C-alpha cells in the first residue's frame, strides 16, 4: 500500500529540462541562473533584493548575522516551529527565548509579545531580533509586530519557510513591508522546491551587501567595501567571517522553473483546503482559522482534535491513520520541550498554548498534485478514526 504523504514536491518534465540545461552549460554554480532566480522571486514578492542560499536554515543564520546578532544579544521566536527558527540564535552565540502562540492562529501571540517586551524593558533584557514564523503559510500580524519593533527597537526576520505565495493586507509575503528581512525554504515539502535551498529577502541596501558577503566567506570584490586600494582585477578581500552557503545553478534552475507554477500550486492547495473545511464542518475538529485580509499559502493543513468529543487519544487517531496509509504528521513538537533546549533551562509548562495545541494537532496530507480520490481516502479514513 502506497502511503499518501503529508506533503510532496511536484516536479514536471519542464523542470527536469531546465536542470539538464544547466548541467550542459558552463556554470554549475555561481552562474547566471542564480541571479535570474533571485530577480524572479524578488519581483514576485515585490521586494528589492533576494539572496539565494543553500537552505532555509542557512538563510536564517546569515539573516541573524546581518542583523549583527551576537554574544550577549537575545532572539525571540515562537515555540510552535521547526527547530531551525530557534537554532539560528545559538549559531550566533546569542541567547534565545520564546513567546507563546495565539490560541486561534497558532502563530506567535502579539499580546504575549507586548506583555513580554514590557517586562523585558524593565529587566534590561529586550531582544535584538524577533523571528515571527508564519505557521502553515498564514502570516503573523506583521503590522502590529512592526510597530512593536519601532517602539522597542528590535530587528524583524520573518521565517516564511511555509509561506511563499501567501499574502498579507494585499501584499505578497516576502515584501518586507513590515520587517527587515524575510526567509524562505525550498525544501521539497515546501511550496516550491530546489531540492535543498533557501533565500533571504530585504529592501535594505546595507543588509543586502552583508548578506551577499556572508553567503561567500565574507569576501568582497567591490572596491567601496575594501580596506585600502585594490591590488588589481584578480583582487578580493575577506572583510568579515562568512560561510559557503551558496545555492548551485542546478538548484536555481529547478527553483526558477517551479516559480512559474507557484500560483497554480497555491490555487490547488486552496481548493483542497476549501473542500477539507467544508467536509469537516460536522467533525469533532477545529479547522484552520483564517484572517479576512490575508491569504495563507497553505503549506500545511493542521486540524485540532476536540479530544473531549471523541473517545480516542491523538496518538490512537494518528496510528489508525498511518495504518491506513495516510501519511499524517504533527507540526510541531514545541521547541522548548526538546531535550537540547531543556538542557539550556527551558521546561514543559512554560508556553501552555503551544503545548496544548501540540496535544491536539494533526497535519493531514496536502500537496498540489493530490487527487480528489486521495483526498477522499484521507477524509473517509479520518471519519472512521474519529469514531
Residues lying near ligand PLP in the complex (CB under 6 A) are found at 55-57, 81-82, 84-85, 133, 159, 161-162, 185, 187, 198
Grid cell for residue 188? 521539497
Least Cβ distance, residue 91 to ligand PLP (angstroms): 12
Nearer to ligand PLP, 56 or 320 (CB): 56
Least Cβ distance, residue 185 to ligand PLP (angstroms): 3
Least Cβ distance, residue 123 to ligand PLP (angstroms): 28
Closest C-alpha among 371, 370, 357 to residue 136: 357
Nearer to ligand PLP, 9 or 55 (CB): 55
Least Cβ distance, residue 212 to ligand PLP (angstroms): 19
Separation between Cα atoms, residue 311 and residue 180, nearest integer Å: 47
Those residues whose C-beta lies under 8 Å from the C-beta of residue 80, and which sit 6 or more positions away, are 101, 106, 107, 133, 135, 332, 334, 335, 354, 357, 358
How many Å is the Cα radius of gyration of the chain?
A: 21
Nearer to ligand PLP, 162 or 210 (CB): 162
Nearer to ligand PLP, 57 or 203 (CB): 57
Least Cβ distance, residue 250 to ligand PLP (angstroms): 16
Least Cβ distance, residue 287 to ligand PLP (angstroms): 21
Least Cβ distance, residue 75 to ligand PLP (angstroms): 14
SS (H, E, C) 300-319: CEEEEECCCCCCCCHHHHHH
**Cβ–Cβ under 8 Å, residues 130 and 162:** no
**Cβ–Cβ under 8 Å, residues 37 and 252:** yes
* Cα first-last separation, the chain: 23
Nearer to ligand PLP, 76 or 283 (CB): 76
Separation between Cα atoms, residue 84 and residue 75, nearest integer Å: 13
Annotate 165-183 with DSSP letters as a single string. T-EETTEETTS-TTSSEEE
Separation between Cα atoms, residue 193 and residue 9, nearest integer Å: 7
**Cβ–Cβ under 8 Å, residues 40 and 186:** no
Nearer to ligand PLP, 97 or 320 (CB): 97
Nearer to ligand PLP, 164 or 317 (CB): 164
Least Cβ distance, residue 191 to ligand PLP (angstroms): 11
Nearer to ligand PLP, 82 or 367 (CB): 82
Any idea what DSSP says for residue 138? P
Q: How many helices (H) and strands (E) does the chain have?
A: 13, 15
Closest C-alpha among 13, 6, 28, 23 to residue 258: 13
Least Cβ distance, residue 106 to ligand PLP (angstroms): 12
Nearer to ligand PLP, 187 or 268 (CB): 187
Separation between Cα atoms, residue 322 and residue 315, nearest integer Å: 10
Amino acid at each position: 500500500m502506497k502511503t499518501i504523504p503529508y506533503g510532496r514536491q511536484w516536479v514536471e518534465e519542464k523542470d527536469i529540462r531546465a536542470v539538464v540545461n544547466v548541467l550542459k552549460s558552463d556554470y554549475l554554480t555561481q552562474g547566471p541562473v542564480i541571479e535570474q532566480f533571485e530577480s524572479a522571486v524578488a519581483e514576485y514578492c515585490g521586494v528589492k533584493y533576494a539572496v539565494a542560499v543553500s537552505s532555509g536554515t542557512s538563510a536564517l543564520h546569515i539573516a541573524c548575522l546581518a542583523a549583527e546578532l551576537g554574544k550577549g544579544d537575545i532572539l525571540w521566536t515562537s515555540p510552535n516551529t521547526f527547530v531551525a527558527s530557534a537554532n539560528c540564535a545559538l549559531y550566533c552565540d546569542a541567547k534565545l527565548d520564546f513567546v507563546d502562540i495565539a490560541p486561534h492562529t497558532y502563530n506567535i501571540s502579539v499580546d504575549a509579545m507586548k506583555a513580554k517586551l514590557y517586562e523585558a524593558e524593565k529587566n534590561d533584557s529586550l531582544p535584538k531580533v524577533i523571528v515571527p514564523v508564519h505557521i502553515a503559510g498564514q502570516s503573523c500580524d506583521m503590522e502590529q509586530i512592526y510597530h512593536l519593533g519601532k517602539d522597542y527597537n528590535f530587528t524583524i526576520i520573518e521565517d516564511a519557510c511555509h509561506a511563499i505565495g501567501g499574502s498579507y493586507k494585499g501584499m505578497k509575503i516576502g515584501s518586507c513591508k513590515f520587517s527587515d528581512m524575510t526567509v524562505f525554504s525550498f525544501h521539497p515539502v515546501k511550496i516550491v522546491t530546489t531540492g535543498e535551498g533557501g533565500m533571504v529577502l530585504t529592501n535594505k541596501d546595507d543588509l543586502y551587501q552583508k548578506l551577499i558577503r556572508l553567503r561567500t566567506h565574507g569576501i568582497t570584490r567591490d572596491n567601496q567595501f575594501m580596506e585600502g586600494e585594490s591590488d588589481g582585477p584578480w583582487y578580493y578581500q575577506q572583510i568579515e567571517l562568512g560561510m559557503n552557503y551558496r545555492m548551485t545553478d542546478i538548484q536555481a534552475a529547478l527553483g526558477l522553473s517551479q516559480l512559474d507554477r507557484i500560483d497554480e500550486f497555491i490555487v490547488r492547495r486552496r481548493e483542497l483546503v476549501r473542500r477539507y473545511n467544508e467536509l469537516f464542518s460536522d467533525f469533532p475538529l477545529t479547522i484552520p482559522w483564517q484572517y479576512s485580509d490575508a491569504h495563507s499559502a497553505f503549506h500545511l493543513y493542521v486540524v485540532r482534535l476536540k479530544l473531549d468529543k471523541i473517545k480516542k487519544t491523538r496518538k490512537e487517531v494518528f496510528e489508525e491513520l498511518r495504518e491506513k496509509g495516510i501519511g499524517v504528521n504533527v507540526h510541531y513538537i514545541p521547541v522548548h520541550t526538546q531535550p537540547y533546549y531543556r538542557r539550556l533551562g527551558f521546561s514543559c509548562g512554560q508556553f501552555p498554548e503551544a503545548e496544548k495545541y501540540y496535544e491536539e494537532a494533526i497535519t493531514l496530507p496536502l500537496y498540489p498534485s493530490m487527487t480528489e480520490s486521495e483526498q477522499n481516502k484521507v477524509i473517509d479514513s479520518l471519519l472512521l478514526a474519529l469514531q
